[in-house]
Amino acid sequence: MAGYHAKKRLGQNFLKSPEVIQRIVDEVDPSPGRLVIEIGPGRGALTHPLAESGVELLAVEFDRDLVGYLEKLVRKFDNATILHADFLTFEPDAVRYPVFTLLGNLPYNITSPVMDWCDRYHGRIESAVFMVQEELALRLAGSPGSKNWSPLSVMTQMLFDVDFRFRVSGKAFRPPPKVTSAVVRLTPRATILDTATDAVRQVVKVSFKQRRKLLINNLVPEVIPTVAQACEILNDLGLDRSCRAEQVTIEQFLALTNGLLRLKLV
């Protein structure tokens, strides 16, 4: 697209490496009869090979200046549609496929709201392949006991298994971003532990408020009035009173939330 200048405010770093593009398309595992919704197709680096694969493709682009170009790019494919919209306001109710795969080389400024979107519509998501900043990918895929275990890890992994797939150097993009990126793959958990309710969200947020503090010191007095009561609650759950939030598993956060709900503390 001669003369087009990438827009920083829309997080436009376009993929140019054929190897990386192919690896991402392989992650999506496109096959006819399935629906892929692409977030931010940009200049079509992933859109074109996906349309060519025969998969049903709906690509949602916010930048009006790119829409005409994208429409021309996929004109010969009956299976590909370009939608000019803000993905964050996109509602999948009208989509006739019961489930779909989400794909996105995500602009860094909408990563968090896209994760909230996944939370809201998790029942419709068959899988999601996202390229994000490496640091965020590590947090999404983090496990208890590691420094990457965070509210984002807990809330995402309550609904999805997260697989850190591979790193992508800045050289694979034009213009190159300052940080390394990584591709993650989300698949729905075999057993949904619970929906990410507001109560769980609140407990997890408070528990991690000051990472270096003991869990008990984050919970008292904001959620639990006294240390004695907190010790009793943690003890009942088999949690050590000297543990930190980064050691607490999803199952333990859920049990803690249920205990606090029973006591009407959240």
The dihedral formed by the CA atoms of 17, 23, 28 and 30, expressed in degrees to the nearest 10: 90
Instruction: Report the nearest approach of ligand SAM to the CB of residue 257 (Å).
Output: 32
Q: Which is nearer to ligand SAM, 125 or 200 (CB)?
A: 125
Instruction: Report the nearest approach of ligand SAM to the CB of residue 215 (Å).
Output: 36
DSSP code at position 136: H
Instruction: Report the nearest approach of ligand SAM to the CB of residue 175 (Å).
Output: 10
139/115 Cα distance (integer angstroms): 12
141/150 Cα distance (integer angstroms): 10
The dihedral formed by the CA atoms of 24, 136, 159 and 80, expressed in degrees to the nearest 10: -30
Instruction: Report the nearest approach of ligand SAM to the CB of residue 259 (Å).
Output: 39
- For ligand SAM, the nearest residue by Cβ is 40
Q: Which is nearer to ligand SAM, 87 or 253 (CB)?
A: 87
Q: Half-sphere exposure (CA, 13 Å, Cβ side) for 84?
A: 9
80/202 Cα distance (integer angstroms): 41
The residue ranges that bind ligand SAM (CB under 6 A) are 10-15, 39-43, 45-46, 60-63, 86-88, 105, 107, 110
Q: Which is nearer to ligand SAM, 36 or 260 (CB)?
A: 36
Q: Which is nearer to ligand SAM, 71 or 194 (CB)?
A: 71
